[in-house]
Amino acid sequence: MALTIAAIPWGVMAILLPLVGALACFLSPRRANPLGLVTAFGVVACVAGLAWQVVAQGTQRYAIGGWGAPLGIDVYADGLSVLMLMATAVVGLGISVYSNSYFKRDKAVNFWPLWLFLWSALNALFLSADIFNLYVTLELLGLAAVALVALAGGADALTGAMRYLLVSLLGSLAYLLGVALLYHSFGCLDIALLAERMEPSPAVLAAVGLMSAGLLLKTALFPLHFWLPPAHASAPAPVSALLSALVVKASFYILLRLWLEVFPVTAAALGQLLGLLGAAAVLWGGLQALRQTRLKMLIAYSTVAQLGYLFLAFPLGSTIAWQGTLYLLLSHALAKAAMFMAAGNVLRFGGHDRIVDLDRVAQRLPLTVTAFALAGVSIMGLPPSGGFIAKWLLLEAAMLSGQWWWMIILILGGLLAAAYVFKVIGYAFTRAVMTHEARAVPATMEWAALALALAAILLGLVAPWPLALMEIGLPFGGEAAG
Amino acid sequence: MSPPSLYALVGIGLFTLGLYALIVHTHLLRKILAINVMGSGVFLVLVALAARAREAAPDPVPHAMVITGIVVAVSATALALALMVRVRAETGRAELPEKRPE
Amino acid sequence: MNWNAWLPLLIVLSSLSVGLVIFFLPEERVATRTTLNLAAAVLKLVLVGVMIWGVVHGHHYVTRLPLLPGLDLVLRADAESVLFVTLSSGLWLVTTVYAIGYLEGSPHRSRFFGFFSLCVAATVGVALAGNLMTFLLFYELLTLATYPLIVHRGTDAAHQAGRAYLTYTIAGGALLLVGTVWLYGIAGSLDFSYRGFVAELADGHRAALIAIFALLIAGLAVKAALVPFHGWLPQAMVAPAPVSALLHAVAVVKAGAFGIMRVVSDVYGIEFAAGLGVTLPLATVAAVTIIYGSMRALFQDDLKRRLAFSTVSQVSYIVLGIALTSPIATIGGLVHLVHQGVMKITLFFCAGNLAETLGIHKVSEMNGVGRRMPWTMAAFTIGAFGMIGAPPLAGFISKWYLGLGALDAGQGWVLVILAGSSLLNAGYFLPVVYAAWFKLPADTWPAERSFGRRETAWALLAPPVVTALLTLALGLLASAPFSPLQWVRSITIREYTP
Amino acid sequence: MKKTMNLKPMTEGGKIRTPLRLLLIVLLSALAAGLGYAVSTLSSQAPGLSEWVAANLESSGVSNPVTAVLLNFRGYDTVLEMGVLLVALLGVWSLGGIPEQRESSAGPVLDMLSRLLVPVLILVAGYLLWAGADAPGGAFQAGSVLGAAGVLLLLAGWRPEPRFAGLPLRIILTMGLGLFVVMGIVSMLMGGRLLQYPRSFAGVLILLIEAAATLSIGMTLAALFRGSRPGAKLDR
């Protein structure tokens, strides 16, 4: 048995390693920090290996237990899943480094196992080809996320976590009922097989409705977003980062998968509705963000708005539109994580995140402010940044499809974003003289935020490469990229 | 109508009933119970439909799914109850505040 | 490695990289920062010199980096870009010297000079952009890099100005973006080319092309401060004097005007644009702006505000020249791109000197200042007369060609505009000059700082004198080879001869 | 606390307004009707995986199809699900301890009951575990019975000794998931796929895993009931 590098199932490794790491951290709480960090780097390596495999050998399908669908569960990796995994790896690494300094011993003991379980769940979710297995990963993800939110303690965090838990359970139950209907209609759970056997029927329609509703609830699409801001704003900074950057994207990813492969026969009409809700989210989220008085709430509402963009592609449906959506997803993951980390630094330094009192703090944390500003550039969709590329692709798609009204939404959303980002950045420039005093914020926390923000900017300069990766396995249907 | 699909209909009934309770009731314990009722409904649908075909033995896969689902439900309920107790300890009421922090 | 393929990028990076380095310099490392700034400015000038030489000798400098499938980031040296690059990097050197003197001992200098360099990097990118996408990219970068400079002082007024600036420019950028995407959608390409690349789309897309033109011009007009998009410029004068110089002469308004030039001549092509019937409205807007700006300037007592409104008016000469679609007028417009820059920067330097040395901010405080600061006021006077268009100064050349061009284009009414605006210019400049030289000084200045025997610090005095002499030279030596005028001539010939 | 961004408060005094209630009832009835209709239209011969399971049953190492699916065919689901159980416990523990429900001084009845029942329960759990291979039963049934025993003990006032509360407890809690993962990795190192048991000793392996899982599940359920981490001082 020769396990050459090429033969190692890196995808499976990326699922198992964090699982093992979580167990290790749980068994030896005293070494949670080093163990967690090592695991984080290991997972990044695994994802890199998988990416290399997919680029070199094309899509990867791996039959766990050697049974293969429909009896067993398959793990499947194409360009789409690899990109999600890579975004998770980059953000995850940043969060791990950040948290290493953020949490005190007693919290760290609880943080690391939960976070590694969550990471494992994310990787498993992005690789799963089986709709019931997806349900299990969703639940693992949801419970870990809730526990992490509650980690902050205090009334806000606990009620936020409670609401989040109920919503997340409701969502997964709706999804599970849909799974039941699909299974009993076609006798299989594998996405590819379902796609083959799919034919419209009342049961299928019901399943589409239930699963979409459940996943939209978890993705916090307007008007189902009510639970997101309290949960994301009250969680500890690194947790807010990973919730906004990754967790909400997971349920969206499932929706995207089903939409692209299983539902198209049945769900075309739903597209326009999703587009409208997305547009509403963009505007409503932007306006609410502008109204906020606390930094973390502002960032949370900005997430609501940015999630809205992800749904503008559904009515468009062209490859360019999906590419734009995915690109927005990636750059938002990086930028938003950076923003929440920056907010965390501000909180740590000044003990509050009231926007009107930011000036003194901002003066003394130049790196943090820079991180926030760079992330803001991407969120606004100004060049050069991943956000700009995404916006360009979406605008182009809207233009080509002749549905120009989505362009208006994109532009308005950008203007709103600019308004609320600069509302914060303005406070960096005050007459308060810079004083070099002992900094209460560990350098690693500032640099972690800055690194992710820079990555979001960099994403705007290397676009051809991710776009090429997206094409592997043609997740967006037959035609090549426009 | 065959008994299995009758059970399935009952399952659907439980699901919607639970949903109603989840929305209407404000006390967290009731909400948690409501979620569990919904879950039972889904499980009932799963196993009931597994026995649709009269002649053959019932399909084992849905049963396995239900067992998994039950374990998940137990875990989630446990976490939810613990959270509820803490919420009550913090806020004095086992309810979610109508007004949210901003 | 192919040198020609990297020179344009190097020119951009020369200031970009320095900017990034400066951000991380501790505040007190003054010497290092100054050396870096000057070194970068000189280096850039040298590189530009090399590029001019190459362009003259028929070399082609193009940097191409893939940005999106089918859409590259293109930095290209052509006659127009060389004109703008030379202007901005030349004036950047002068402005840097001035800024070093001006900000001596003030806080946040690392931040200031960092963004200062970014600003110029963005401007050079705008100048060298080989297609509309690249132009858009650097145009937005310029917006972001300028904002911190405008709010640099952190006063409420500064923040207000900054907000106004963002509101205008980001909205304008959005319009530009929409126009660009739309154009890309129907044309499938965005590369600038002589006499444009949209002509063959005329049938079928006529209406769309007109709409796109409107969007693009509106987006650019914000930075070019065309009425009614000029509101931010007078407010922005709260920024430190070097920043005003940057805004008014080197970077921002110039980027707008230059962009309009690109759109009219290299995207649409002058003839096609004229045929499309979009140039006359543009000319009208420009004319209105010229008169409006001058009228407003007339009634400003705050010196910098007066200068700001004069900019609003003067920059529109460039737009007017392009919009008249006559070769001669185009010459006038393009050459004014350079001349206005040199003259206006002189005036702002002088205003800065007055404020720094004597605490003078108002015209009404300037009585007899000529005797206290002869060199500064001499430079100011030259700049002012240049603006009025008095021969033999630079401004005269511009207006002369604009006038001839107007006749050539059969737009006689433009002469009235020119005459009128010249009168107004005289109306708001001559009183200042007169007061400075011939009125009796008040016994004390608002806030005087002594610089020993000199009237003010060297770093503050040298730049305006240099640029004033330049104003003189640009007028006197207009017909010498490689003068901006000759350069612009060659451009224009290429633009028009089919 | 600023004003909510709800458009209009849907509740007054915690109770949902009557008109909204009625609307809700109508909507949900419609939902129920729709779903019911959808279910009733499913064809009467189920297109399930029964024959697939039957075909591969003997190579799965157990003869109880449900156990075969849970531990072998879809064992991967079960791994993750053990993870879910553990995560729930981690979550509960990370809440920093539940205010201990007042010690119910176990009356003689409860005390006696626990002494009688716990051994029986343990036996039953063992039986269920063993029977799971070829009859209804298995790790989860056994585990929950074991958990019940634990709950009974806790109710009767029994508390784990401190020295047991540390690493030993954690090992038992994780051994189910741990063994599962280890098996999976070993199976990969032996050249197979993840969780691909060699046919000859599939049965033994499954029994091993199930045994470990039973202990973990039972212990986890009991710990969940207990709420706060043993030995952890309550932070309020």
Yes or no, beta carbons of A136 and D80 under 8 Å apart: yes
| A200 C-beta neighbours (distance < 10 Å), count | 11
Q: What is the mean pLDDT of residues A295-306?
A: 96
Q: What is the chain D residue with the closest CA to A287?
A: D5
Yes or no, beta carbons of A143 and B80 under 8 Å apart: no
The pLDDT of residue C418 is 92
DSSP tag of A354: B
Q: Is the dihedral of CA A214, A216, A221, A223 positive or negative?
A: negative
**C191 strand-pairing partners:** C131
CA distance A5 to chain B (A): 34
Q: What is the mean pLDDT of residues C24-53?
A: 90
Is a pLDDT exceeding 50 seen at residue A481?
no
The pLDDT of residue D4 is 40
| B56 C-beta neighbours (distance < 10 Å), count | 14
Q: Is the dihedral of CA C351, C352, C358, C362 positive or negative?
A: positive
The pLDDT of residue B11 is 96
Distance (Å) of CA B30 to CA A384, B19, B25, B34, D227: 51, 11, 6, 6, 20
Q: Which residues of B touch A170 (CB under 8 A)?
A: 19, 22, 35, 38
Alpha helices by DSSP H, C107-155: 109-128, 132-150
Chains that touch C (3 or more CB pairs under 8 A): A
| C201 C-beta neighbours (distance < 10 Å), count | 16
Q: What is the mean pLDDT of residues C77-98?
A: 91
Q: Which residues of D touch A207 (CB under 8 A)?
A: 38
**Cβ contact A–D (≥3 pairs, < 8 Å):** yes
Q: Which residues of A touch C75 (CB under 8 A)?
A: none
B99 — pLDDT class (breaks 50, 70, 90): low
The pLDDT of residue B101 is 42
Half-sphere exposure of D39 (CA within 13 A, CB side): 33
pLDDT tens for each residue of B50-82: 888 777 788 899 999 999 999 999 999 999 999
Of B16, B64, B72, the CB nearest to D69: B64
Q: What is the chain B residue with the closest CA to D36?
A: B9
Distance (Å) of CA A277 to CA A215, A274, C100: 14, 5, 53
ipTM of the complex: 0.92
Is a pLDDT exceeding 90 seen at residue A37?
yes
Q: Which residues of B touch A147 (CB under 8 A)?
A: 79
Lowest mean pLDDT among A396-405, A433-442, C221-230, C287-296: A433-442
* Partner B contacted by A159 (CB < 8 A): yes
Pairing between β-strand C62-68 and β-strand D11-12 as defined by DSSP bridges: unpaired
Cα angle at C434 between C428 and C440, to 5 degrees?
A: 130
Task: Count interface pairs A-B at CB distance under 8 A.
Answer: 94
Yes or no, beta carbons of A432 and C154 under 8 Å apart: yes
The pLDDT of residue D105 is 66
Q: What is the mean pLDDT of residues A78-91?
A: 96
The pLDDT of residue D1 is 36
Is a pLDDT exceeding 50 seen at residue A473?
yes
Chains that touch B (3 or more CB pairs under 8 A): A, D
A433 — pLDDT class (breaks 50, 70, 90): low
* Partner C contacted by A432 (CB < 8 A): yes
Q: Which residues of A touch C144 (CB under 8 A)?
A: 377, 382
* Partner A contacted by D88 (CB < 8 A): yes
Q: What is the chain B residue with the closest CA to D143?
A: B71
Distance (Å) of CA C57 to CA A16, C1, C51, C61, C494: 64, 20, 10, 12, 16
Q: Using CA atoms, how far apart are residues D209 and D76, in angstroms rounded to an integer? A: 13
pLDDT tens for each residue of C47-70: 999 999 888 888 889 999 999 888
CA distance B11 to chain A (A): 10
pLDDT tens for each residue of A172-189: 999 999 999 999 999 999
* Partner A contacted by D144 (CB < 8 A): no
pLDDT tens for each residue of C453-478: 778 888 899 999 999 999 999 999 88
**A75 strand-pairing partners:** A62, A128
Yes or no, beta carbons of C66 and A426 under 8 Å apart: no
Lowest mean pLDDT among A442-446, C91-95, D189-193: D189-193
Of A382, A400, A426, the CB nearest to C144: A382
Q: What is the mean pLDDT of chain B?
A: 89
Q: Using CA atoms, how far apart are residues A188 and A67, in angstroms rounded to an integer? A: 14
Q: Which residues of B touch A179 (CB under 8 A)?
A: 65
Q: Which residues of A touch C68 (CB under 8 A)?
A: 389, 392-393, 463-464, 467
The pLDDT of residue A436 is 45
Is a pLDDT exceeding 80 seen at residue C229?
yes
With helix as H, strand as E and coil as C, how does chain B read? CCHHHHHHHHHHHHHHHHHHHHHHCCEHHHHHHHHHHHHHHHHHHHHHHHCCCCCCCCCHHHHHHHHHHHHHHHHHHHHHHHHHHHHHHHHCCCECCCCCCC
Helix (H), strand (E) counts: chain A: 22, 2
Q: What is the mean pLDDT of residues C314-328?
A: 92
The pLDDT of residue A438 is 42
Ranges of residues in chain D whose predicted pLDDT is under 50 = 1-9, 234-236
Nearby residues of C320 by Cβ (< 8 Å), 6 or more positions away: C283, C286, C287, C290, C329, C333, C402, C414, C417
Yes or no, beta carbons of A407 and C181 under 8 Å apart: yes
Q: Which residues of C touch A429 (CB under 8 A)?
A: 148, 151-152, 154, 158-159, 162
Lowest mean pLDDT among A242-251, A424-433, C413-422: A424-433
Q: What is the mean pLDDT of chain A?
A: 91
Sorted by where each starts, the structural domains of chain B and their CATH numbers stand as: 3-91 (1.10.287.3510)
CA distance A167 to chain D (A): 16
A1 — pLDDT class (breaks 50, 70, 90): very low
Q: Which residues of A touch D48 (CB under 8 A)?
A: 183-184, 187
Of B49, B50, B79, the CB nearest to A165: B79
Q: What is the mean pLDDT of chain C?
A: 91
Does residue A360 or residue A18 have the better pLDDT? A18
Alpha helices by DSSP H, C439-498: 458-476, 484-496
CA distance A231 to chain D (A): 15
Nearby residues of D99 by Cβ (< 8 Å), 6 or more positions away: B85, B89, D234, D236
Distance (Å) of CA B79 to CA A13, A175, A218, B97, D177: 29, 20, 18, 19, 19
